Structure 1
């Protein structure tokens, strides 16, 4: 019986620990992945340019 109780508590520790580690990893990624307004503008412009180029290529193909 004692072995089962130890196994259950160990499993609970693993599950709770994994949840905490996952939460910390997500928080770290969220705070590390910030962009500036200049980066956002550059990304938007590049996307717009790619769409325009794709539309031009599609029009040339017919």
Structure 2
């Protein structure tokens, strides 16, 4: 069953694999192609859940966000 997603797989210089779903704006990596794709599926699902969640984003809690 096809989801119609276009995914790019890249073998990096260090031997790891990157999986990129540009339409979703999500990327992942793994030691194997299968791992990179599985991690990408999980990352896309989490991202889609976060994008549909009505909960407001938390305020940044890091010193580099200070407006001073």
TM-score w.r.t. structure 1 length? 0.36
Greater helix fraction, Structure 1 or Structure 2:
1
TM-score w.r.t. structure 2 length? 0.33
RCO comparison, higher one (Cα < 8 Å, 6+): 2
Greater C-alpha Rg = 1
